[in-house]
Amino acid sequence: MRIFTIGSHSVVETDALPAQLPASGFIWIACARRELEASQPQIQATLQTLCGTQLVDLHVSDLLNHQLPSHYDYTSQYDILVFRRLAAGPRDTDPDHPGEPPPPPVRRSGPPVLKRLDTSPVGFAVFDRVLLTVHPSDCAVRDAYAARLLNATSAEARAAGTRLPANPADLMLRIVNQMVDGYLELRRELTRQLDHWQTELLNPRTRFNNWSSMLDARLSLHHLDEICEDQRAAVQDWIDALETWATPDTPAGQRERELLKVRSRDVLEHIERVVHHVRRLEQSAETAVQMHFSVQSNRTNDIMRTLTALTAIFLPLNLITGFFGMNFEFMPLVHHQAAFWWTVALMVAVAAGTGLVFWRKRYLARTGR
């Protein structure tokens, strides 16, 4: 569990749950799902002391649920956002046996990036001056943003104009935005793998036999599309709820509210970019498969066309040889001394003429590769 006290110009990390709110700023309590399971009474007591309320039992169950899709909910005193991350990382505990190590993942084929992609949910409980986040075990997103938060107080960061989060909602949106941007960084490797498969599918000199991986990739992309749709719906519900908040009286509070709206729309735009990219990859994979079968069909048609043309060339030759192979005693040219060479010349002329006609009609033309 990591606990931060965030002010306007300072960030202090402590190990113990706070007993009171700071004079200014807010508190960020970041814990793993297993830690929330084990320390639920202490965390609830802390929330009661700091915020005057506790998490509803249903919301606690949502935060502990490893399979819950992205969604938004609220009460009169706090908001709940569950957001499934799209990042490479370890899986959390088995949801059927809380606190125990997870079972080994099922081995599957597909691009390595899809094998490493973890879509565990991250929960946010947003109070007025407290943010409680529930992450998977050893969450790289939490640690990365915590390091960025601690570095934001350095002289270099202040000189670069880095601003600390103004309130718990602002911090939540920054973490969500970082999770979404994490997938945007993974898309290059996924795109490279799918492009490699497309090249193999359309290469006439290779025999593509990695169909199981292609099928798993398409199923994984479809699953990612569903996850991104849930993410977009959750953030859109948050934006709609944000519009119903009371307008602050002070200009500073109004500016913070406007910044929250701008950041929320920015997160939604990033999610839409992810949705667009996932759908484009899914469509690209489907198109590559269709093009592969179209190319195979064209190759089969070329082969059958060539075989048909060759059969048509030899049909008159078979007719001639069949005619002179009949068992009659008296036949024209049978006993003539030059009949054999005349017959051969006639067969060559017929074959050459038929072949020339087929070549002019491009029945024997070589298909370009």
**pLDDT above 50: residue 219:** yes
**Are 149 and 4 spatial neighbours (Cβ–Cβ below 8 Å)?**
yes
- Nearest 5°: phi and psi at 301? -65, -40
pLDDT band at 279 (very low <50, low <70, confident <90, very high): confident
Q: What DSSP string describes 289-319? A: HHHHHHHHHHHHHHHHHHHHHHHHHHHHHHH
Domain 2-93+100-295 homologous superfamily, CATH: CorA soluble domain-like (3.30.460.20)
- Nearest 5°: phi and psi at 100? -100, 155
CA 47 from chain centre, in angstroms, equals: 36
What would the two tokens of residue 191 be? 């795109």
Query: Average pLDDT, stretch 222-237?
Result: 86
What would the two tokens of residue 333 be? 């040219």
**Are 270 and 181 spatial neighbours (Cβ–Cβ below 8 Å)?**
yes
pLDDT digits (tens, 9 = 90+) for 28-56: 999 988 888 888 899 999 999 988 899 99
**Are 50 and 26 spatial neighbours (Cβ–Cβ below 8 Å)?**
no
Q: With the CA atoms of 45, 49, 52 and 57 taken in that order, what torsion angle do they form, in degrees rounded to the nearest 10?
A: -10
**pLDDT above 60: residue 238:** yes
Rounded to whole angstroms, the Cα distance separating 283 from 294 reads 16
pLDDT digits (tens, 9 = 90+) for 94-121: 444 444 444 444 444 455 555 556 678 8
Query: Average pLDDT, stretch 206-227?
Result: 73
Which of the pair, 263 or 184, is modelled with greater confidence? 263
- Nearest 5°: phi and psi at 125? -110, 110
pLDDT band at 289 (very low <50, low <70, confident <90, very high): confident
pLDDT of residue 158: 59
**How far are the Cα atoms of 79, 119, 126, 293, 301 from residue 168, in angstroms, in the given order?**
11, 23, 6, 53, 65
Rounded to whole angstroms, the Cα distance separating 194 from 260 reads 37
Query: Alpha helix (H) ranges present in 203-250?
Result: 211-243
pLDDT band at 282 (very low <50, low <70, confident <90, very high): confident
What would the two tokens of residue 294 be? 């179209």
pLDDT, averaged across the chain:
79
CA 68 from chain centre, in angstroms, equals: 18
CATH of 304-360, one of 1.10.10, 1.10.8, 2.40.30, 1.20.58: 1.20.58
pLDDT of residue 251: 87
One-letter amino acid of 253: G
pLDDT of residue 104: 47
CA 45 from chain centre, in angstroms, equals: 39
What would the two tokens of residue 209 be? 């036999």
Neighbour-count burial of 163, counting CB atoms closer than 10 A to its CB (0-12 exposed, 13-18 middle, 19+ buried): exposed
Residues 6+ apart with CB under 8 A from 51: 77, 78, 127, 128, 129, 130
Domain assignments of the chain as residue spans, ordered by start:
2-93+100-295, 304-360
pLDDT digits (tens, 9 = 90+) for 118-146: 678 889 999 988 999 998 876 777 888 88
Query: Average pLDDT, stretch 352-362?
Result: 83
Query: Average pLDDT, stretch 226-245?
Result: 88
**pLDDT above 90: residue 80:** yes
Which of the pair, 24 or 289, is modelled with greater confidence? 24
What would the two tokens of residue 276 be? 């667009």
**pLDDT above 70: residue 87:** no
pLDDT digits (tens, 9 = 90+) for 290-326: 777 777 787 788 888 888 888 888 888 888 888 777 7
pLDDT of residue 326: 77
Rounded to whole angstroms, the Cα distance separating 188 from 262 reads 28
What would the two tokens of residue 98 be? 């809380």
**Are 221 and 183 spatial neighbours (Cβ–Cβ below 8 Å)?**
no
